[in-house]
Amino acid sequence: MSENLVIVESPAKAKTIEKFLGKDYLVISSFGHIRDLQKRDMSVDFQHGYQPQYVISEGKEKIVAELRKHSKTAKTVWLASDEDREGEAIAWHLQEALKLDPEKTKRIVFHEITKDAILNAIQHPRGVDINLVNAQQARRVLDRLVGYELSPVLWKKIKASLSAGRVQSVAVRLIVDREREILVFTTESFFKVAGTFFADKAPIKADASQKFSNEKAALELLEKCVDATFTVESVEKKPAKRTPTAPFTTSTLQQEASRKLGFSVSQTMAVAQRLYEAGYITYMRTDSVNLSEQALASAKSAILEMYGEKYLHTRRYTTKSKGAQEAHEAIRPSYMNNQTISADAQERRLYELIWKRAIASQMSEAVLERTIVTIGISGATEKFVANGEVMLFDGFLKVYMESQDDENDADSAGLLPPMQAGQILQANSIVATERFTQRPPRYTEATLVKKLEELGIGRPSTYAPTISTVIARGYVLKEDREGQVRPYKQHTLTNGKITEKVLSEITGAERAKLFPSDIGMVVTDYLVEHFPRVMDFSFTAKVEEEFDEIADGKIIWNKMIDDFYQIFHEKVEDALQNSQRATAERRLGVDPKTGKEVIVRIGRFGPLAQLGESEGEQKPQYANLQKGQLIETITLEEALKLFELPRTLGDYEEKPVTVAIGRFGPYVRHDEKFTSLKRNVDNPMTITLERAVELIEEKRKMEREKVIKTFAENEELQVLNGRFGPYITCAGINYKLPKNIDPSALTYEECVEIMSQQEGSTPRKSRFAKKAAAKKPAAAKATTTKASAAKKATTAKTATTKAATKKKNA
């Protein structure tokens, strides 16, 4: 029996803390929340102030039983979950579910998992902060009310299986609004004129001081330059400084990890969580840029040791973030003198980024000298301007430079040779290049987080799950898209002659950008029309501020819920009764071959094109829209091409090969078997017979290699190759293989041993199988379930008995 029981929410965190505490402390993980609202109903008591109805989370019964057993024998129970509202709620749920005695229960919090921080927390315990708990409860209840009342409206008015969320729907709206800005944007061309000159054989690049709205104006300047003299009119030198940015908050870490490391928002948070739990960094969910006095002293020591006194400049940043939560620290290394760590590649790269940002924030400014040279053109009022920059002292740039979101940032200014006013320059070439106005950029995960933070929507703990949710639900697509070839003109003046050529470039290519799906656009339009308050950015931000006020104890949480719900529920009832069904239907025109009308709309399984109407026994033809096509923008010609499928490519093995688009995407059909086309690689409209055969053979090879091993002792037991690697299957139940095991070398006895140590999992059923099961009478379902369970139990028992007998005989 341990005198002290410490409960944390993750095994990794428990393992790290255990190293700092003595034998009198037992550290156990709750594996996250142990209680939550039931999944199948609202679980909110409207008659008693919207009180949430909590139950032990599925699969957590054994953990709760173990925690309860240890808590009864411990003299003191320390609740050491994370320091934010979610962590406070976990501590409260543990206290309630385990029925902990308040006299022997203590709450401890810490910003970092170091020995000093843990021991200091033990010395300064407190009780559970019910205001923070209520703020988390208010968010949970409000999100449940919105989700569970809006979703049925969407099922009835748009399509089954849709869902809505208070923050997620607003995030989708941002992406939809941006896409519509792009769709209506008209690109206009203009001309930029740039020259290369020589000053005593040293090259200088300079740009015309203005842009030209048309080709004629740009050519007129080139004509003026044919016989012109180019004179330095002025040389202006200005001192300049660059100041480091503040240490990371959650959102700035997500943005910078995306730009510098290519991490997704959820990936950044997962890696940061591991770093925190291993004791490498401070808590990673924070909107504070503050550093503790201890951290400042540690950074000072590290900078003096590594770079010297001239690089040191201590700064105390203050948090200006709208609605910033509790007084957390910024994200920083736990030990500032550790420039790197021994960890996997992702963890090491993110740690080094955090270290550089934190250390740079306490370093000297970079000192620069900027030079602006104005070059006059004889006989013309236009000027050329050259910009140069010299680094006099690198300061914090020795360690770190922040990246930018702007995709069209110009190259930084270079070094200019010495020049003086009145100096004549020699023109080498002057080039007028056609350029184009840039449409608004689509959001990346990082820039969406930045926008949400600017609007005050969501908090550090919600950014990553919000984005993951809208992508998982199919409202938003995260993908790459190919650009298009665009021609542009270029006029070049060299040796007194002007030449013209037409060049080309790729425009509109996108990488890891967020696009709204058709269903995302339809749902957004419907919600904006019928629930404008829920979809309003300012209102959503105001709700976040009210959560902050609940956390501060300024307002009562269920009063805030009631104020929202009374108005919201009326809107729900009104929409169910009076709103029209939304299909986003567009009539594109008539097919010239058949005379039938072509329509695009939302169908049962998503956006589709329809050729003709139902007339007696004659049914319309349907075709799914392809990647990149939207109901709002698809043309009649593009829609008609969809009906060219299925397309016969030729024969293989004396059997036809066809390509078509099905419910789950484009596929090749051959010998009554189906092979999916590769996403972002194959196009059903252009795929060749040779490529189709390649895909067919590739699938055959995978199927041949699927079975790694079978056993005569039990035909149902197999070792197979799966999507995520080798696994064991027996009687319809799958079992994971431990790491560093050669699946082809497994014996029957070893497989049985592995199976006996796991519960196993059943393969996921298709939606059709689930529907068929749901339609069975209750008695039939019960009989089937019992028979299946009995069969599995018998199979497993037989397998184990055979193995034991064989082992004994051997």
pLDDT tens-place string over residues 512-571: 999 999 999 999 999 999 999 999 999 999 999 999 999 999 999 999 999 999 999 999
pLDDT value of residue 603? 84
Asked if pLDDT for residue 594 goes beyond 80, the answer is yes
Q: What are phi and psi of 286, to 5 degrees?
A: -155, 150
Using alpha carbons, select from 311, 283, 307, 308 the residue that is nearest to residue 295: 283
How far apart (Å, rounded) are the C-alpha atoms in residues 83 and 77? Answer: 17
Asked if pLDDT for residue 723 goes beyond 80, the answer is no
Own/partner contacts of 618-625, CB < 8 Å, gap of 24 or more, are 620/596, 623/661, 624/661, 624/662, 624/663, 625/518, 625/600
How far apart (Å, rounded) are the C-alpha atoms in residues 734 and 714? Answer: 15
Average pLDDT over residues 19-23: 89
Q: What is the mean pLDDT of the chain?
A: 88
pLDDT band at 760 (very low <50, low <70, confident <90, very high): low
CA angle (692, 696, 702) in 5-degree steps:
145
pLDDT value of residue 507? 94
Residues 315-365: pLDDT tens digits?
A: 999 876 655 544 579 999 999 999 999 999 999 999 999 999 999 999 999
pTM of the predicted model as reported, rounded to 2 decimal places: 0.81
Asked if pLDDT for residue 775 goes beyond 80, the answer is no
How far apart (Å, rounded) are the C-alpha atoms in residues 92 and 54? Answer: 12
What is the distance, to the nearest Å, from the Cα of residue 187 to the centroid of all Cα atoms in its chain? 30
pLDDT value of residue 776? 41
pLDDT band at 405 (very low <50, low <70, confident <90, very high): low
Q: Are strands 366-377 and 230-242 parallel, antiparallel or unpaired?
A: antiparallel
| Alpha helix segments (H runs only) across 435-580 | 445-455, 463-472, 518-530, 532-535, 537-551, 557-578
pLDDT band at 1 (very low <50, low <70, confident <90, very high): low
pLDDT value of residue 583? 83
Would you state the torsion angle of the CA atoms of residues 403, 407, 409, 410, taken in this order, to the nearest 10 degrees?
130
Asked if pLDDT for residue 786 goes beyond 50, the answer is no
Average pLDDT over residues 209-229: 95
pLDDT value of residue 327? 52
The residues assigned a catalytic role are 283
Place of tokens 């208070």: 166
- Segment among 227-236, 634-643, 788-797 with least mean pLDDT: 788-797
CA angle (415, 418, 423) in 5-degree steps:
125
Element (H, E) at 806: helix 778-809
Asked if pLDDT for residue 412 goes beyond 80, the answer is no
Residues in Cβ contact with 131 at an 8 Å cutoff, skipping those fewer than 6 apart:
550, 551, 552, 553
Average pLDDT over residues 800-806: 45
pLDDT band at 2 (very low <50, low <70, confident <90, very high): confident
146 token code pair:
């919105």
How far apart (Å, rounded) are the C-alpha atoms in residues 320 and 288? Answer: 8
Average pLDDT over residues 735-739: 87
Cα separations in angstroms, 719 against 420, 625, 716 = 80, 39, 10
Element (H, E) at 619: none
Residues 657/695, Cβ–Cβ less than 8 Å = no
pLDDT band at 401 (very low <50, low <70, confident <90, very high): confident
Residues 193-214: pLDDT tens digits?
A: 999 999 988 999 999 999 999 9
Using alpha carbons, select from 402, 540, 522 the residue that is nearest to residue 462: 540
Cα separations in angstroms, 491 against 103, 381, 488 = 84, 20, 10
